[in-house]
Amino acid sequence: MLYADRIRHQIQVLGNVPEPSSDAIAHSEKLYEHLKQQLSNHPLPFHDVMEQLLHAPGLGYYSAGAHKIGAAGDFVTAPEISSFFGFALAQQCLQVLKETGGSILEFGAGLGTLAKDILLQLEVDNCLPDNYFIVEISADLRQRQQVRLKEEIPHLYSKISWLEQLPVEGFGGVILANEVIDAMPIHLFENTADGVKDLQVIIEDDGELELDVSSYLSPTLEEWLSRDEISRLSFSQGYRSEVNLAMESWIASLAKCLNKGLILLVDYGYPRHEYYLPERTEGTLNCHYRHHSHDKVLLLAGLQDITAHVDFTAIAESASDAQLSVSGYTNQASFLSGCGILQMAEQAADNDLDTQMRLAQQIRTLIMPDEMGEVFKVIALTKELPIDVSEHLIGFAFSDLRHQL
Ligand SMILES: C[S@@+](CC[C@H](N)C(=O)[O-])C[C@H]1O[C@@H](n2cnc3c(N)ncnc32)[C@H](O)[C@@H]1O
């Protein structure tokens, strides 16, 4: 079968979604062939396939050149919905930077919009950081960030630099990541009559990639399942879910790098008791293709984003293990309200009705519970901050849900 026909068939399976361009199909074919070659020898753990689908050098969804974020891409993130997201986050940065001085470091900066808005707001507040560092795994997005930030904030461009990796230690200030953890490859499992097993990927005779329940439990998943807090969970037969085991060492590396300050993580997810609810029998794995969401993770290789929700209890546990304090946890609506988003937007709208309506619509998307307000959460991890700052972070003034973790 021609690869273009395979993709056309996949598009039909997904229903009413736009067809990729011939360039996109050619790109997808290279990634498919790369995976097919490996799968012809033996199945691969789902984790390894997800890693390659997203990040295989030059081939994966994030590594290659297609539009990803925004109206012309596959999904929209909060910084792309409204600059007031960044302006509000800047208020939280401001409170901490006044105490610590130092810099901001953003992981996975997408199109660079959050960096731009935070820097512009901190400039207004007369509290620019020493540096704004960006750690970005995608060469394509890094280049887009550089072009855009140079063009749109030339006077602040000298503050921004891109790091290949985290500074080893000694960082003071604020570390940020919006919708980065959800893009990390996860381990997928199913509880079978024979106990929990890893899910793997196989290639069928017709060349389609398929999920398959393996006959083994990998040592990494076995170790995770044996932990006290996890062994208390019970999964019904057929229950399928996932766990992000990379997050733990990622938090540890942030903790090691941070000398003094705040780590602020924003993403969609739940505390663990909600994440592994008995009725959530299919986990949270989800794909985004041209603003359509679906759960067919092995279709459209390299042309769609693949994400999983975040277990915020796991973040809190990893943080405590790494000697960070969990200083706040709440939903995005409460966090942005605590940072004063409504007052900032009101002031900006002035008396202009059109602007008022446009901003009201943006803010509604960010904070309404049926949009991004409830499912997106914000967690604050701190180190060496005075208690009157770490326990009174403005983003958590309206609601602090740490008891749920
Ligand atoms: C869903 S996008 C979010 C982008 C941006 N933060 C926003 O809110 O628009 C995920 C971002 O994280 C980056 N990313 C994923 N894994 C990463 C990692 N391990 N290190 C650094 N960046 C990563 C991606 O390249 C992309 O920029």
- Give the ligand 1 atom nearest the CA of 111: 9
Say how many Å lie between the CA of residue 389 and the centre of ligand 1: 28
Kindly state the average pLDDT of the residues 72-97: 96
Nearest to 128 by CA among 105, 152, 107, 156: 156
Instruction: Please say if the pLDDT value at position 16 is more than 90.
Output: no
The whole-chain average pLDDT of the chain stands at 95
Kindly state the average pLDDT of the residues 122-144: 95
- The phi and psi torsions of 194 (rounded to 5 degrees) equal -105, 20
Over residues 218-262, the pLDDT tens digits come to 999 999 999 999 999 999 999 999 999 999 999 999 999 999 999
Quote the percentage of the chain above a pLDDT of 70.
100
Domains of the chain: 3-65+186-242+276-307 (3.40.50.12710), 78-183+247-274+319-404 (3.40.50.12710)
CA separation for the pair 293, 182 (Å, rounded): 15
Confidence (pLDDT) at 354: 87
Say how many Å lie between the CA of residue 105 and the centre of ligand 1: 13
Contact 366, 81 (CB under 8 A): yes
If one residue of 137, 166, 264 were mutated to test the ligand 1 pocket, choosing by the most ligand atoms within 8 A of its CB, it would be: 137
Kindly state the average pLDDT of the residues 154-161: 98
Over residues 371-399, the pLDDT tens digits come to 999 999 999 999 999 999 999 999 999 99
Confidence (pLDDT) at 224: 97
The residue whose C-alpha atom lies closest to atom 23 belonging to ligand 1 is 108
If one residue of 180, 249, 257, 310 were mutated to test the ligand 1 pocket, choosing by the most ligand atoms within 8 A of its CB, it would be: 180
Instruction: Please say if the pLDDT value at position 65 is more than 80.
Output: no
The residue whose C-alpha atom lies closest to atom 7 belonging to ligand 1 is 110
Say how many Å lie between the CA of residue 177 and the centre of ligand 1: 8
Confidence band of 4 (pLDDT split at 50, 70, 90): very high
Kindly state the average pLDDT of the residues 292-296: 95
Out of 102-111, 193-202, 345-354, which region has the weakest mean confidence (pLDDT)? 345-354
Say how many Å lie between the CA of residue 394 and the centre of ligand 1: 25
Confidence (pLDDT) at 66: 77
Kindly state the average pLDDT of the residues 102-114: 97
Confidence (pLDDT) at 356: 87
Say how many Å lie between the CA of residue 69 and the centre of ligand 1: 10
Q: In the numeric block, which tokens belong to residue 95?
A: 């409170």
- Give the ligand 1 atom nearest the CA of 305: 1
Confidence (pLDDT) at 349: 78
Instruction: Please say if the pLDDT value at position 350 is more than 90.
Output: no
Instruction: Please say if the pLDDT value at position 312 is more than 80.
Output: yes
Q: What is the CA radius of gyration of the chain?
A: 22
3-state secondary structure the chain: CCHHHHHHHHHHHHCCCCCCCHHHHHHHHHHHHHHHHHHCCCCEEHHHHHHHHHHCCCCCCCCCCCCCECCCCCECCHHHHCHHHHHHHHHHHHHHHHHHCCEEEEECCCCCHHHHHHHHHHHHCCCCCCCEEEECCCHHHHHHHHHHHHHHCHHHHHHEEEECCCCCCCEEEEEEEECCHHHCCCEEEEEECCEEEEEEEEECCCCCEEEEECCCCCHHHHHHHHCHHHHCCCCCCCCEEEECCHHHHHHHHHHHHEEEEEEEEEEEEECHHHHCCCCCCCCCCEEEECCEEECCCCCCCCCCEEECCEEHHHHHHHHHHCCCEEEEEEEHHHHHHHCCHHHHHHHHHCCCHHHHHHHHHHHHHHHCHHHHHCCEEEEEEEECCCHHHHCCCHHHCCCCCHHHC
pTM: 0.96
Confidence band of 169 (pLDDT split at 50, 70, 90): confident
Instruction: Please say if the pLDDT value at position 72 is more than 90.
Output: no
102 lines ligand 1 (CB under 6 A): no
Say how many Å lie between the CA of residue 314 and the centre of ligand 1: 20
Confidence (pLDDT) at 353: 85
The residue whose C-alpha atom lies closest to atom 4 belonging to ligand 1 is 110
Instruction: Please say if the pLDDT value at position 172 is more than 80.
Output: yes
180 lines ligand 1 (CB under 6 A): yes
Confidence band of 265 (pLDDT split at 50, 70, 90): very high
Q: In the numeric block, which tokens belong to residue 59?
A: 């081939």
Say how many Å lie between the CA of residue 118 and the centre of ligand 1: 17
Confidence (pLDDT) at 159: 97
Q: At what angle do helices 341-349 and 353-367 cross, to 10 degrees?
A: 160
135 lines ligand 1 (CB under 6 A): yes
The residue whose C-alpha atom lies closest to atom 17 belonging to ligand 1 is 137
77 lines ligand 1 (CB under 6 A): yes
Confidence (pLDDT) at 295: 94
The residue whose C-alpha atom lies closest to atom 24 belonging to ligand 1 is 108
- Give the ligand 1 atom nearest the CA of 75: 1
107 lines ligand 1 (CB under 6 A): yes
Kindly state the average pLDDT of the residues 155-174: 93
Confidence (pLDDT) at 244: 98
Instruction: Please say if the pLDDT value at position 67 is more than 90.
Output: no
Confidence band of 400 (pLDDT split at 50, 70, 90): very high
Say how many Å lie between the CA of residue 250 and the centre of ligand 1: 13
Contact 109, 136 (CB under 8 A): yes
- Give the ligand 1 atom nearest the CA of 250: 19
